[in-house]
């Protein structure tokens, strides 16, 4: 299991919006296309199709749960990603829990969350 936490310089509603809106996510993460459905059960494609999945649970401003997979994984193999958002002073505490991935992917995925999500989000929201 991967558990990571970061504080971002924006409200929980703003962080939620960036994580669930394809246009905003694309802007925040460097321009590789993102398509994100807005309803539970909807599909998403991030980073120009490199990451794919489905929204399992969406609680605006509080929680996002996704069935999540990199494109190279075997068809039908999904991990579970949970973003929990909470107010932290003038910003947002984002907690990430990532489970159900192949064991040999742990180090790669652990390094990828800050590099591909948290650092670009922090810059975009500043």
Q: How confident is the model at residue 73 (pLDDT cuts 50, 70, 90)?
A: very high
Q: What is the pTM of this model?
A: 0.96
The number of beta carbons lying within 10 Å of the beta carbon of residue 38 is 12
Domain housing 47: 2-125
Number of domains present in the structure of the chain: 1
Q: What is the arithmetic mean of pLDDT over 37-57?
A: 97
Q: Which residue has the tokens 């802007």?
A: 27
**Per-residue confidence (pLDDT) for residue 102, from 0 to 100:** 97
Give the H/E segment covering residue 120.
helix 119-125
Q: What pLDDT sits at residue 31? A: 86
Check which CATH number belongs to the domain holding 111 and give it: 3.30.530.20
Residue corresponding to tokens 């907690």: 95
Q: What is the 3-state secondary structure (H, E, C) of 56-95?
A: EEEECCCEEEEEEEECCCCCCCCEEEEEEEEEECCEEEEE
Binning pLDDT at 50, 70 and 90, where does residue 105 land? very high
pLDDT tens per residue, range 57-67? 999 999 999 99
Percent of the chain scored above 70 by pLDDT?
Answer: 100
> Residue range 95-124: average pLDDT?
98
Consecutive H or E run containing 122: helix 119-125
Q: What is d(CA 11, CA 33) in angstroms, rounded to the nearest whole number?
A: 24
* Residue 16: both structure tokens together: 């939620």
């Amino acid at each position: 299991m991967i558990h990571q936490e970061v504080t971002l310089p924006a409200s929980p509603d703003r962080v939620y919006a960036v994580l669930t809106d394809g246009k905003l996510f694309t802007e925040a993460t460097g321009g590789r296309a993102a398509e994100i459905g807005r309803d539970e059960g909807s599909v998403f494609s991030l980073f120009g199709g490199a990451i794919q999945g489905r929204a399992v649970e969406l609680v605006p401003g509080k929680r996002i749960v996704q069935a999540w997979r990199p494109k190279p994984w075997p068809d039908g193999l999904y991990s579970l990603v949970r973003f929990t958002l909470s107010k932290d002073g003038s910003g947002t505490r984002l907690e990430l829990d990532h489970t159900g991935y192949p064991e040999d992917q742990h180090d790669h995925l652990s390094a990828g969350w800050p590099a591909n999500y948290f650092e670009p989000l922090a810059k975009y929201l500043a």
